[in-house]
């Protein structure tokens, strides 16, 4: 496998305090991705980071739905949606990037999920599948036909980012060892990986980039 790193973009998804141990929506071993993500970013001329950036009372929060519990579901804007603990609230420490993340290589930070009634997993679109984040136009303007994706969490935001990138026609690679999963519901990681592979997304180890 050969990735032309001069024409590829590296996308670091949601490497934020609330998704790491001790955070409000902690992903098991979430902080373990930080050194691998840092090393990957060194290999690319074009790096983009995403940042969950929710207003207080966001519709994806279980606390916004009386009687609801985190990891349950609710009908939001006509879509059956997962409900989460309050997390990555704008301006809080939980929304900040993990302190170990080297942010110097990143040319652009995409803040997503800031619309009160609309969640956003993907780096490319809000969860309605139609409202763009602006990332596609940015990458096309810079002539980057390939994306390498890593971060948190594999079975949600990394998965949907890779799915949308493939749908948009990019060559897509997911650095498996630079991701961790929520793991809810059971088997979500395995289903995400299988679905991405079936759609032509390459699941790789970061060593394949470092070679």
Q: How does strand 146-152 pair with strand 79-82? A: unpaired
| Known catalytic residue at 157 | yes
- Are 42 and 178 contacting, i.e. CB atoms less than 8 angstroms apart? no
Instruction: Compute the distance between CA of residue 9 and CA of residue 136 in angstroms, rounded to an integer.
Output: 11
Active-site pick, 14, 31, 86, 164: 14
> Taking Cα atoms as reference points, which of 10, 8, 3 lies closest to residue 146?
8
Active-site hit among 18, 112, 155, 164: 112
Among the listed residues 20, 47, 88, 157, the single catalytic one is 157
Please say if 112 is a catalytic residue.
yes
Active-site residue 88, yes or no?
no
Q: Give the C-alpha separation, 200 to 195, whole Å.
A: 9
Residue 46's Cβ-side half-sphere holds a number of Cα atoms within 13 Å equal to: 19
Alpha helical stretches, state H, the chain: 33-41, 135-141, 159-167, 188-198, 207-210
- Tell me how far apart the alpha carbons of residues 204 and 54 are, in angstroms, rounded to a whole number: 31
User: What is the C-alpha to C-alpha distance for residues 109 and 113, in angstroms, rounded to an integer?
Assistant: 13
Give the residue numbers annotated as catalytic, written as ranges: 14, 112, 157
């Amino acid at each position: 496998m050969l990735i032309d790193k001069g024409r590829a973009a590296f996308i670091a998804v949601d490497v934020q305090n609330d998704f790491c141990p001790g955070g409000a929506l902690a992903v098991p071993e979430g902080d373990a991705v930080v050194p691998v993500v840092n090393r990957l970013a060194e290999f690319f001329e074009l790096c983009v980071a995403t940042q969950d950036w929710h207003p207080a009372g966001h519709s994806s929060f279980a606390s916004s739905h009386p009687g609801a519990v985190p990891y349950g579901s609710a009908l939001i804007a006509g879509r059956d949606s997962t409900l989460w603990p309050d997390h990555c609230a704008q301006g809080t420490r939980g929304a900040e990037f993990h302190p170990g993340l080297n942010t110097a290589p990143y040319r652009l930070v995409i803040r997503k999920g800031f619309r009160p009634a609309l969640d956003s997993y993907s780096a490319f679109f809000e969860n309605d599948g139609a409202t763009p984040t602006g990332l596609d136009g940015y990458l096309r303007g810079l002539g980057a036909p390939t994306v390498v994706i890593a971060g948190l969490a594999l079975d949600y935001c990394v998965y949907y980012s890779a799915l949308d990138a493939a749908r948009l026609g990019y060559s897509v690679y997911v650095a498996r060892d630079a991701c961790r999963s929520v793991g809810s519901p059971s088997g979500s990681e395995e289903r995400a990986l299988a679905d991405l592979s079936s759609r032509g997304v390459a699941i790789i180890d970061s060593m394949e980039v470092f070679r």
